[in-house]
Structure 1
Amino acid sequence: MGTDKIRILDFITYPGRNIYCHRPIMKLIVDIGEYWDIPTKDIEGFHDRLLKAFPGLRKNCCSLGYEGGFLKRLKEGTYLAHVLEHVILEMQYMLGYKVKFGKTRVLEEPSVYYLVYEFQNEVCGLECGKTAVFILNCFLNGTEPDTQFFMDYLKKISIDAELGPSTTAIVQEAKRRNIPVTRIGHESLVQLGYGKYSRIVESTLTDATSCIAADISCNKQLTKTILAENHIPVPYGKVVYSEISAVIAAKQIGLPVVLKPCDGNQGKGVVLNLDREEDIKNAFREGCKYGSGVIVEKFVRGNDYRVLVVGNKVSAVAKRLPAMVVGDGKHTVRELVDLVNLDENRGEQHEKPLTKIKIDEISIRILENENLTVDSIPEQGRVVKLRANGNLSTGGTAIDCTDQIHPENAELAVRAAKSIGIDIAGIDIVTEDISKSILDTGGVIVEVNSAPGIRMHIYPSQGTPRNVAADIVDLLFPTDESIRFPIVSVTGTNGKTTTARLIAHTLSLCDRKVGLTSTSGTFVNGKCLFKGDHSGPRSAKTLLSNKDIDCAVLETARGGIIREGLGYDLADVGIVMNIGEDHLGMDGTETLEDLAYVKSLVTEAVKENGYAVLNAEDGMTPYLAERTRANIVLFSKNNRFEKIGKEEQIRVFAQDGWIRIQEKETLISLLPAADVPITCGGKIACNIENSLAATAALYALGIPADRIAQGLRSYKQNSGRFSLYDVNNFHIMLDYGHNLPGYQEVIRACKHFQPKRLVGVIGMPGDRSDKAIRSVGALCAESFDRIYIKEDEDKRGREPLEVANLFKSAILEKNYDEEKVTVIENELEALKAAVESADAGDLIVILYEKLEPLQEYLNAIGAKPAQ
């Protein structure tokens, strides 16, 4: 084909809630090159090719909101990136995924676009994106791609990437109960819930089943030995390792016999009712394909029943029938199989309630035993079996018999599962009638299976469907406490870390095992597991899989939300501290409303009956309130509450020096703000505000007022935030302020201490705008008596000293004495220079990038935390 007209530049996957949609989406960035200003109606033959390949596009609504809206847009003229979005969605829809959300926007003028589109199967979504680009490029180059070939390929890889039917049923049941689900990798392994009570399942195999128990269940002879020792009836048999040994064992046991591999599954290699030496040898060779040894055991006549045991009870029973066809005197066996496989309930693998029947060596051999071939035409009404066993995976069917099982058979099935040590087990019983005790009828338990399939119980061919997934989820999450995992998510421009720390500290006083992610690291029960900036979604996901915690407080930064969405599903409390101008001009956020839109995801993603905690004094709060359906809690350090368009349930505020809570007619005076250590006797206003936000969140979680007060009073080590140290006859303060509001708060707090000189060691991250850096420089010129300018080690795209020079020029423009400004690029060296030049009564404040080297230096010079 010709050159690519549409080029893929990047793919980004958002597996959870994100700023575009509360469902999983993919973001595709493409360059449409020369077609940036050419509408598709002006591309010869394009529309005809497009609608011939994807006729369903005629019904697409598009932004016009009605069926056929996209077709109207095509006729009027639209652009390639927009068409690409609709083709990707249509391809997924054709594959059975009911996706509808998509959006296309210009990213870089004139030809680079981003388009976001919903997906349900990640592999399918990714491959549909790539394939759609390929097909549209074919259209643009005047070639006709084999669209059906691509759709067949996409269907196959989509099926392969789906969760198995058992896992899917459990996941759907968990979601109905609002239990969060996290897929691990691309197989059928999922985590249900978070933290201490989280469970990992794969199909119906749970993390409670030990490796030993699973291994035992795979060894059929060992399983039978254990069952027999527990006085559970099993068929007599022997393990053999050669054809002649199989024949000898069969004669000793007594014909007819069954041969099966010692460690097979899904009925593979199992051959029943053998009474001829040649058949026994053939069966041995078949069994050896699936294991090193083969069991020869007594053939017990009867029906094949699968009993599903979940915990301490029988959840469902099914009578399994092997793959078969019924003759009509007209069609061959092969044709009858094809007719049966037309049933829409039959799929290639496990994606449908039943599996298609396949003609293979085993079925051909079974036909030969009946003097038939695939080309034979069975007479009217003749039942032709194509498998010896009734496994659904080989095309079998099932009849529900749950209400018929005899109590003794149910008790024996539960005992069998317990004797092996499996919490969810498939017990295979052979007996003529499951409603009669096998102790009386001579029936036997032939297998105990770990990870039993549950399709047959959810979708029986006959009888009552059984919601066995509900029983499994009940087993995994037996109490309300095991389902409920409290999460607090904190976002905003300033104050996130301190607020998150306060909440985590107070929860720990309530006998909770608390996990915390923040810009300073990941913590479990107060212990730092990982250092660094962990305010993104990946850190949140890692923490929520930790089995040592029963609640989590997550600092949720803007950058992570934009790049990857949220690292959790829903929070109990979502907090937006404030919306400041920091980060404007980055990642497409040009206005305060853009920033508020990003951060509003935190208060939108709140559980039913959860709470959104908002700052009553922030100008963007009315916007945030309108975007949330949660209950609203407002906090205000000045007891100023403007109308926000919605009625708040709770108010938390500072009044007459006290922190107070008001809920309807109830007013609680919690404690004096000056009693909160991190406010330095009420001097640090921003930490009063942070304390109010923490109080609001804790109260919304149902924490008693006296415990909240205890938490605020006892939290003293707010490392790296307004951290004040005594050094001989002067002081040093460390803080993480990295934007104009942060600097303003630090300077305001420092002036409360009335230093002889206020010395600033200043810097800012390089990804801030020139305007933002210069505005901080101007503030520093007005506030500091002596200035040392340093730079962050991470330049974030800037040249060395570029940020420092911006600072210096802004400071000197304020007629600041140039002799009092020193540029020292290294942060630690800049602090050392300030310390060496310090006078008695000075207060040196350093707005740092990396805390630990500074703390080590302060320890080395004997600095002590100020009391």
Structure 2
Amino acid sequence: MRLELDEARRLTGPNLLWEHPGAIVDVFIAGIDKNAVVTLWQRWATTLLTEFGWQQKTTYRLHKEGANLALSAPMDALYCACDLAELAWHCAVAELQSAVTPDWRQRLNELQLELAEERNPELIALLQAAHQHNVSCIVDDDEVSLGMGKSSQTWPARALPALSSIQWQQYQDIPRAFITGTNGKSTSVRLASHIAKAAGFVAGVTSTDFIRVGEDIIDTGDYSGPGGARMLLRDPRTELGFLEVARGGILRRGIPIDAVNAALITNVASDHLGQYGINTVTELAQTKFVVAKGLDENGTLVLNADNKLVVEQGLQLDKKICWFSTQESNPLIQGQLRSGKAAVFIRDKHIIYALGSDEECIAALDQVPMTLNGAAQHNVQNALGVVGLCKAMNLSTQAIYEGLLSFGSNAQDNPGRGNFYDTKGIKVLVDFAHNEHSMQAVVKTVNQLPAKRKIVMFSHAGDRSDQEICDLTDAVIALDASLYVVTELQRYLRGRELGEVPQVVAEHLRQKSVPAQKIQFATDPLAGAKIAMNYAQTGDVVLLFVLSEREQVHQYLSQ
């Protein structure tokens, strides 16, 4: 029998389990009925809540390896809620194992003291008043703010203004949107912000690479969670916000804010399974669709009608949806047209936006650099999704057109995603693709380009199984390259030994009948890029999957 606590953490926004803030406990359960364990945990949680004087709710989610157990709580008592949820777990486990029950009464006395220190009645009063005045209130451990953009005002969480002094009418929201999906998120937020710039707005972007307002990068790193959203929406320069929302942030904390004007889900495919109890692609799709809980009452959900997992989830929702597809004949597109609803699709190699019978031709594919004249189908879909998103945010058709035409496949506009270089007659494509879905899309693009020979450099992170590494390598083998350069990723060993992942890759390449003379090894992506380029000749196409040292590779190719 396995009854193991993995993690207890705070939920600060709407999340996979429900819409409430509170605490979540991740547990592993094996060798015993999961429902019986969860029922006992809930019974203990109810007992402890009653003794503690709290009127809170509990919920749970079962998965293959165990369960996620959640307890609602006020925003000024989330740490205490984590401790209480964890205490209920330990009491339930003790009962199941016929062990000594923890001294929970003593622990509750200690938690009362901790709660007294954590509570912030002024914060709760401010949250309630902001809700009554329909003003956004953004909260973190240290600061609280009202409004967004130029109207935003921030105070220390322990030095809040008197409610009587607040001029509620001065606080306004800015247009804002969520963008999520397995692939295409960063490209989409960058393209959307580029279109907003063409419309004359200062757009803010949060992403897995950086947080940016206008042309100014505030900081680099992964800002696809609540922290990046708060920083961006509080910046007085931000006039529109495009918030990349990644799976990890949704599962760890919930969505960053609970009211957006629109949300885009680019696609769903297998990636990062096995974390936080998400073990199947269907569960991953459900996680991505948490962003729909953040739509305001008039908000639009922009969905990929060509992605089966997105379609399955989208059809279950009662939301205003804009479907997009590369095929005008897609049944969902046709349904939108018949019912007078929004759709984006391709007709005769042109991007069309339709609202029922009213149609607009946005741009021809050969005018949109990121699509490579339509060869980069994944970027065609990214463009369609962003058109739907920008229309939902009331950006003009002219701005969308100008933004699509001026957004380049280069390291300036879209660093690390589909960047093209042409040096000495050798075409080079650099991409960050790192899962099977995205790597297949990039390889498909390269296979449509004229080439004397094809050369590829690639690598994999160490936290994937041998089978996953082989599956990813199969995506690369579809290139039928003249040279495969396998690189080490020292930053992403994640428990593996040096040389272990390249060895798995090399063995799989040999099993797939790739001759040994077509396989070379490199110590890092920059070294691998040099090997590939030294081998290349005029007329060749070189594909570089660059997961680290992107800037160094860019500098090398630019020279």
TM-score (norm 1): 0.58
**What's the counterpart of residue 509 of structure 1?**
198
Give, in angstroms, the shift of residue 797 of structure 1.
2.8
**What's the counterpart of residue 512 of structure 2?**
814
1:19 aligns with 2:16: yes
AA of the residue aligned to 2:394: G
**What's the counterpart of residue 730 of structure 1?**
426
1:546 aligns with 2:500: no
Whole-Å separation in 1 of the counterparts to 2:473 and 2:482: 13
**What's the counterpart of residue 147 of structure 2?**
193
Whole-Å separation in 1 of the counterparts to 2:131 and 2:124: 10
1:394-405 correspondence to structure 2 within 5 Å: none
**What's the counterpart of residue 705 of structure 1?**
397
Query: Structure 1 residues 93 and 605, CA, compared in 2 at 3 Å: closer, same or farther?
Result: farther
Give, in angstroms, the shift of residue 527 of structure 1.
2.0
Whole-Å separation in 2 of the counterparts to 1:12 and 1:204: 22
Query: Structure 1 residues 772 and 156, CA, compared in 2 at 3 Å: closer, same or farther?
Result: closer
Whole-Å separation in 2 of the counterparts to 1:170 and 1:143: 40
Count how many residue pairs are aligned between Structure 1 and Structure 2.
Answer: 544
Deviations 1:161-186 (A, max 9, x none): 32235x43332021234433333427
**What's the counterpart of residue 128 of structure 1?**
84
Contact 1:603 1:612 in 2 (8 A): yes
**What's the counterpart of residue 263 of structure 1?**
none
1:625-640 correspondence to structure 2 within 5 Å: 625-640=314-329
Deviations 1:74-126 (A, max 9, x none): xxxx44x5423333244335555432132264775xxx765322222224313
Contact 2:459 2:488 in 1 (8 A): yes
1:136-535 correspondence to structure 2 within 5 Å: 147=105, 154-165=111-122, 167-185=123-141, 190-201=144-155, 469=163, 475-478=167-170, 482-535=171-224
Give, in angstroms, the shift of residue 596 of structure 1.
0.6
Contact 1:89 1:117 in 2 (8 A): no
Determine helix, strand or coil for the equivalent of 1:693.
Answer: helix
Query: Structure 1 residues 728 and 131, CA, compared in 2 at 3 Å: closer, same or farther?
Result: closer
Which deviates more, 484-493 or 131-140?
131-140
Whole-Å separation in 2 of the counterparts to 1:640 and 1:661: 14
**What's the counterpart of residue 461 of structure 1?**
none
Q: 2:437 aligns with which of 738, 741, 762?
A: 741
1:98-109 correspondence to structure 2 within 5 Å: 98-103=55-60, 105=62, 108=65
Give, in angstroms, the shift of residue 734 of structure 1.
0.7
Q: 1:589 aligns with which of 278, 286, 293?
A: 278
Q: 2:69 aligns with which of 82, 95, 115?
A: 115
Deviations 1:461-513 (A, max 9, x none): xxxxxxxx5x655x1443xxx42222211111221111111101111222322
Percent identity for Structure 1 against Structure 2: 24
Query: Structure 1 residues 672 and 107, CA, compared in 2 at 3 Å: closer, same or farther?
Result: closer
1:667-678 correspondence to structure 2 within 5 Å: 667-678=359-370
Query: Structure 1 residues 86 and 178, CA, compared in 2 at 3 Å: closer, same or farther?
Result: farther
Give, in angstroms, the shift of residue 134 of structure 1.
6.8
Contact 1:616 1:640 in 2 (8 A): no
Deviations 1:50-94 (A, max 9, x none): xxxxxxxxxxxxx9xxxxxxxxxxxxxx44x54233332443355
Give, in angstroms, the shift of residue 728 of structure 1.
1.6
Whole-Å separation in 2 of the counterparts to 1:779 and 1:6: 39
Query: Structure 1 residues 25 and 655, CA, compared in 2 at 3 Å: closer, same or farther?
Result: same
AA of the residue aligned to 2:154: I
1:660 aligns with 2:356: no
Query: Structure 1 residues 806 and 642, CA, compared in 2 at 3 Å: closer, same or farther?
Result: farther
Give, in angstroms, the shift of residue 704 of structure 1.
1.5
1:791 aligns with 2:488: yes
AA of the residue aligned to 1:853: Q
Q: 1:771 aligns with which of 458, 461, 467?
A: 467
Query: Structure 1 residues 654 and 760, CA, compared in 2 at 3 Å: closer, same or farther?
Result: same
Give, in angstroms, the shift of residue 20 of structure 1.
1.8
Query: Structure 1 residues 30 and 819, CA, compared in 2 at 3 Å: closer, same or farther?
Result: closer
Deviations 1:342-401 (A, max 9, x none): xxxxxxxxxxxxxxxxxxxxxxxxxxxxxxxxxxxxxxxxxxxxxxxxxxxxxxxxxxxx
Contact 2:351 2:362 in 1 (8 A): yes
AA of the residue aligned to 1:12: R
Query: Structure 1 residues 132 and 721, CA, compared in 2 at 3 Å: closer, same or farther?
Result: closer
Query: Structure 1 residues 748 and 92, CA, compared in 2 at 3 Å: closer, same or farther?
Result: same
**What's the counterpart of residue 528 of structure 2?**
830
Q: 1:780 aligns with which of 463, 466, 476?
A: 476
CA RMSD across the alignment: 3.1
**What's the counterpart of residue 52 of structure 1?**
none
1:803 aligns with 2:495: no
Give, in angstroms, the shift of residue 593 of structure 1.
0.9
Contact 2:148 2:234 in 1 (8 A): yes
**What's the counterpart of residue 333 of structure 1?**
none
Contact 2:340 2:356 in 1 (8 A): no
1:606 aligns with 2:305: no
Contact 2:179 2:245 in 1 (8 A): yes
Contact 1:572 1:611 in 2 (8 A): yes
Give, in angstroms, the shift of residue 757 of structure 1.
0.8
Deviations 1:597-634 (A, max 9, x none): 11111123211110111001111233322454431000
Whole-Å separation in 1 of the counterparts to 2:536 and 2:121: 68
Give, in angstroms, the shift of residue 809 of structure 1.
2.4
Whole-Å separation in 2 of the counterparts to 1:7 and 1:814: 41
Query: Structure 1 residues 143 and 587, CA, compared in 2 at 3 Å: closer, same or farther?
Result: closer
Whole-Å separation in 2 of the counterparts to 1:704 and 1:675: 18
AA of the residue aligned to 2:305: A
Of structures 1 and 2, the one with the larger relative CO (CA 8 A, separation 6+) is 2
Contact 2:40 2:92 in 1 (8 A): no
**What's the counterpart of residue 855 of structure 1?**
554
Q: 2:540 aligns with which of 822, 832, 842?
A: 842
Determine helix, strand or coil for the equivalent of 1:483.
Answer: coil
Deviations 1:18-64 (A, max 9, x none): 2122211322246899xx7599xxxxxxxxxxxxxxxxxxxxxxx9x
Determine helix, strand or coil for the equivalent of 1:98.
Answer: coil
Determine helix, strand or coil for the equivalent of 1:857.
Answer: helix
Determine helix, strand or coil for the equivalent of 2:478.
Answer: helix
Q: Which runs of 4+ in 1 moved over 6 A?
A: 134-139, 202-206, 644-648
Whole-Å separation in 1 of the counterparts to 2:327 and 2:273: 27
Contact 1:85 1:116 in 2 (8 A): no
Determine helix, strand or coil for the equivalent of 1:623.
Answer: helix
Which deviates more, 152-161 or 504-513?
152-161
AA of the residue aligned to 2:14: R
Whole-Å separation in 2 of the counterparts to 1:744 and 1:138: 49
Whole-Å separation in 1 of the counterparts to 2:420 and 2:102: 72
Deviations 1:502-555 (A, max 9, x none): 101111222322111123211111222222333333333333332321221122
**What's the counterpart of residue 423 of structure 1?**
none
5+ residue gaps, structure 1, are: 40-62, 64-77, 207-450, 453-468, 863-867
AA of the residue aligned to 1:810: H
AA of the residue aligned to 1:493: T
Whole-Å separation in 1 of the counterparts to 2:129 and 2:348: 51
Contact 2:147 2:172 in 1 (8 A): yes
Give, in angstroms, the shift of residue 157 of structure 1.
4.0
AA of the residue aligned to 1:692: L
Contact 1:485 1:551 in 2 (8 A): yes
Q: 2:386 aligns with which of 684, 690, 694?
A: 694
TM-score (norm 2): 0.88
The higher radius of gyration belongs to: 1
Contact 2:199 2:396 in 1 (8 A): no
Whole-Å separation in 2 of the counterparts to 1:104 and 1:628: 20
Give, in angstroms, the shift of residue 758 of structure 1.
0.9
Which deviates more, 811-820 or 6-15?
6-15
Contact 2:198 2:400 in 1 (8 A): no
Whole-Å separation in 2 of the counterparts to 1:84 and 1:138: 11
Contact 2:262 2:299 in 1 (8 A): yes
Query: Structure 1 residues 608 and 769, CA, compared in 2 at 3 Å: closer, same or farther?
Result: farther
